[in-house]
A and B are shown apart, each in its own frame.
Chain A
Amino acid sequence: MAIKGAITVDTEKCKGCGVCIPNCPTGTIALAKEVNSKGYNYLYMANPDNCIGCANCATVCPDAVITVYRVKI
């Protein structure tokens, strides 16, 4: 049984600190080239196929901008 995950990011509230990126075990996430209205490079799923919905990124996020979803297929 495989597990698939996905995240949504509140891009307006994300400050682009990047502390989540080294904590992602599958290399799913990265900072976008685009910026939000405050000028921060917000987080996005660069490799969405890799996501396993482990919630590591959301657990360490200081601004609670990440919501995690997971399904078993």
Chain B
Amino acid sequence: MEINDIIKPENKVYGKTPVLKDAVMHYCPGCSHGTVHKIIAEVIEEMGIQDKTIGISPVGCSVFAYNYLDIDWQQAAHGRAPALATATKRLMPDKYVFTYQGDGDLASIGTAEILHACNRGENIVVIFINNAIYGMTGGQMAPTTLIGQVTATTPYGRDVKLNGYPLKITELLAQLDGTCYVTRQSVQTPGAVRKAKRAIRKAFENSMMDKGTSFIEVVSTCNSGWKVSPVEANKWMEENMFPEYPLGDLKDR
């Protein structure tokens, strides 16, 4: 059978979702942000909620998320996405409201906002991209940086005596009574992508059931910041990030 006989519209099994715009993403090659954007767009398409979804983009690489998903967006000050999401959801309870934040945004400058939004049990979805580094500004140490990990500001590796321990914000948030669903996912293999997609769908559904905050951490790569190739970054993540940030549901009620 010739390839031209296979490549026909009726044989199409997978392609870009129309919720994702045609713009080329500015992310580095192999960045996990693109994959997570894609699965959020697919969930929005499958649920048919494109005109009912409002995203809050953070400060960081993903500040431009509003250029890539064809939904309504707001952009928050650094770390303040949960506060903006709180207001949006309270004023428009019939909308699906989610924030999209990195670890420098959520786990550092935005710690107070995320803890209190989750403690109040706001009916929002929080998608937290943890790549253990400040990617946008040039690979500096983040609160989630692993012990011994070399970054621009820890050239000899993160030293506990000097820099403290990696902040496991997801474990912290799972303890709060306001959260209903807390999970940790990744997107480096097809299986992991499908699991993460199911988790995002469940979180969106939770946000309409008045159950509390749904929090999804996605353990991600920053191959530019880590100074390795995209494929090596996925391997490095599996070997080093997963022991510190184990995947799975921490809370589901």
Contacts and interface: CB of A to CB of B under 8 A. Distances in A.
Contact of B1 (A18, A23, A45, A73): A73
A4 B6 contact: yes
Interface residues of B, number: 36
A59 to B, nearest CB: 4
Interface residues of A, number: 34
B25 A68 contact: no
Interface in A21-73: 21-23, 40, 45, 48, 53, 55-56, 58-71, 73
A1 to B, nearest CB: 13
B151 interface: no
A62 B34 contact: yes
Given A60-B188, A62-B35, A5 B29 contact: no
Nearest to A68: B14
Interface stretch (B48-56, B154-162, B168-176, B226-234): B226-234
Interface string B9-34: 00111111100100011011111111
Interface of B: 1, 3, 5-8, 11-17, 20, 24-25, 27-35, 38, 187-190, 193-194, 229-231, 234
